[in-house]
Structures are given as C-alpha cells and as structure tokens.
Amino acid sequence: MVEGNKNKKWNWWPLFPLYPYGNKKTILRELIPSQIWSLEQIQGLYYVAVPIRMTVVKVESGLMLINPLPPTKELVNELEKLINIHGKVKTIVLPSASGLEHKIGLPALSRVFKDADIWLCPGQWSFPINLPLDFLGIPSKRTRILFEDGTPHGDAFKWFSLGPLNLGLGRYQEVSCFHYSTRTLHVTDAIVGIDSTPPEIFNFDPTPLLFHSRERGDEPLIDTMEQREKGWARLILFSSFLKPGKLNIPPLKKILKYSFKKDLCDWRSHFGIYPFMWEEDWESSLVEIMGKDSPKIQIAPVLKKLIFPRSKEVLIKWLENINDFKDMEYLIPAHFTAPIKFTKEDCQNLIEEINSEKWNILQEDSKFLINLYKKLFELGIIPKEVNI
Ligand SMILES: [Fe+2]
C-alpha cells in the first residue's frame, strides 16, 4: 500500500459503510485566521457523497473539536500541525443527538486524544436498543452531558439548544454555540449555505461528481470543470430531497441496456450501472436551494420536510435565540459552505421565511420526503406527541 493511502485508512468503516469506505481523504482549511479551522472528509452512499466537517476552535491553552470525524492518520497528522502551535485537544463536543454521521468517529477520536473532555448532546440514542456509553466506545469517566453537567468554555461560548423533538425511535436535538471572540455561530445540520462551486475536497477525487454528471451509464466519466459543477449540482439535489422531483428511475431493462460497456466495466464507473434519468429541466430545482456566487442560506431541506413540519415554533424559538447575538458575523455548519457571512438580518430573514406562506408550499421536489414523513407518521414510527 502506498504511503498516501495508508494515511487515509479508517478500519472501522464497516460500522457505518459510507463512501469512500475505508479510504477517507481529509483536508484542513483555515476558516478564521489563527482561530478556527475545518477538517473535511467525504461521506455518502452510492457516490451521493457530500463533505462533512469537524470544526476546530482555539480555546484557552488548547483546541476544541466540534462534530467528531473518524481519526485517520491523515486527519491526526493535520490536527497535529495545529496542536504544535496552539496546544493539545482539550475538548471534544458531539453536539447532535440524531446525526449518526457525526457520532461514528467519536469512539476512535476519543481514544486518540486520551486527555480530552468529551461533551455530548443530551439524549444520545443507538438503534435498535439504547446501549450504555462505554458499550458504544465512549469513555464515561471523562464524558459529560451538555447543560446537565454545565457547558465547556462558558466564558468564550454561549451554548443553546434546538429541540429536543420526539422522533419516536429517539430524539432530534442539536446544540449550537456562539463564539464571542470570532462572532461565529456553530451549528450542525439545521442551517446550511449552498453554492455552485464544488468543494475543494473533490479536487483529490472528483469521481462522485463525474459519475452524476452523465445522462446514461454508457457515457464515460470525463473530467472538466463544467462536468464537475454539473455533478455537484446533482449531488446537492440528492442530498436535499433524497429523490428530487425531476429525477426518474428508468426501468431495469433500460438500465441494463447501457451497463457493462467496454471501458466502463470497473468499480469506478459502477460497471456502467446508472439507475437515474434526469428530466431536461432538472436545473430548475436548484433555484430554491443553491446560490450562484454566494451561498444560499436556508434551513436544511431534509430537516425542513422530515423533522420540522409539526414543530415550527421550536425552530423559530431557536432562531430568536440566535437573533440575540447582535454582532454576529459568520456561520459554520457541519455541511456545505463555511464560513458563511451570517448576520442578525440573515437570521431574521429565515424567521420571516418560516412564518410566510412560502414555507408550507409543497414543491414537486419535496414530494418524496413529505410522503416518507406521512408514511412514518401513519405507521406510528413518528409519534403524535412532538415534545419530550
Ligand atoms: Fe449532518
């Protein structure tokens, strides 16, 4: 194995088998000079892969990690560059109760940073049964629960919660924080900013972008900037709506007709199996969710349709808390663009949008998610009682 690949190896991937499986590239970006950094990897299913972020914040005599990522050798090497300058990892925060993609790296990360205090969002749950923390690989001796046991670095951050909301199998909750000195708001999944430029991490392997930039399985994967942007736009639609309105699944006969063509019989092209058929005007779906040059700030579309339909008030209450940070300048979420210019006005715009008629309009693109929500509700999986 070449040295580069060894650094990217993550042996625990069968626990949560997401693309790129055991071979995760990590990049380090500086978000706020000498104060905040981002470590990014790609996670996804069947090439519907989007970047996921662990945020590193400089705290008193060390560093705090928000939203753990799997600690590949490459990730630890990158972190060590920061540790050498700013001091050791003092705190690891898992601020989400429901986002499995943010939890999966925590046990291994906590073993790498043996002295770090671990803070968890209340109400962690594992499916199908609730297991004790140590069983999940989280060392209970140095683990504390946000709010119940206080909050970390309380002088430098204001901590507050979105939710909890009852999901039946568990809860939806995320804990956000405002960092006074950089005037930065940190969230996990609830707010995102999406723009048309493919994230930097795809420069190392643009395959997921090129895979989706095609119309049929017998088309080769061609690497041009235009194709990368087209593929990125489609990945945004997948991750926002699961099944976008302008996407059809062709009949099996048609899929097989274009599969297994010469030169495409490899894992990279999934042997030409491409079970997607986009309508000609598919790009019209992007208007609502993707900004061209600057990120479009929004409540994450999947949460908007799956979690918040009955709990608008909880969402508004949370945004009103955010609105108290009068000098707020930036937003750093765990997905998509960061940092994003984000002020009190942007927050107020979100509140107004949620209160407007537009919020309840059912777009073609959201039909799949809404039907999924209805189905889960009918089956009793999403309970009638929303509060915990
Ligand atoms: Fe997430």
The per-residue pLDDT for range 213-236, each reduced to its tens digit, is: 999 888 899 999 999 999 999 999
Rounded distance, CA 31 to CA 209, Å?
Answer: 24
Question: Cα(49) to centroid of ligand 1, in Å?
Answer: 12
Which pLDDT value is given to residue 269? Answer: 73
In the predicted model, is pLDDT for residue 257 greater than 90? Answer: no
Question: Cα(98) to centroid of ligand 1, in Å?
Answer: 9
Mean pLDDT over 121-134 rounds to 71
Question: Cα(100) to centroid of ligand 1, in Å?
Answer: 8
Question: Cα(219) to centroid of ligand 1, in Å?
Answer: 32
Tokens representing 208 are 């997921």
Domains of the chain from N-terminus onward = 3-195+298-350 (3.60.15.10), 205-286 (no CATH)
Question: Cα(345) to centroid of ligand 1, in Å?
Answer: 25
C-alpha distances (whole Å) from 260 to each of 214, 216, 234, 273 are 15, 12, 23, 7
Please provide the average confidence, as pLDDT, over all residues in the chain: 87
Question: Cα(171) to centroid of ligand 1, in Å?
Answer: 14
Question: Cα(40) to centroid of ligand 1, in Å?
Answer: 13
Question: Cα(253) to centroid of ligand 1, in Å?
Answer: 35
Question: Cα(179) to centroid of ligand 1, in Å?
Answer: 20
Mean pLDDT over 185-210 rounds to 95
The per-residue pLDDT for range 153-192, each reduced to its tens digit, is: 999 999 999 999 887 767 889 999 999 999 999 999 999 9
Q: What's the pLDDT band for 2 if we cut at 50, 70, 90?
A: very low
Question: Cα(265) to centroid of ligand 1, in Å?
Answer: 33
Question: Cα(181) to centroid of ligand 1, in Å?
Answer: 25
Question: Cα(157) to centroid of ligand 1, in Å?
Answer: 21
C-alpha distances (whole Å) from 244 to each of 232, 289, 290 are 14, 12, 14
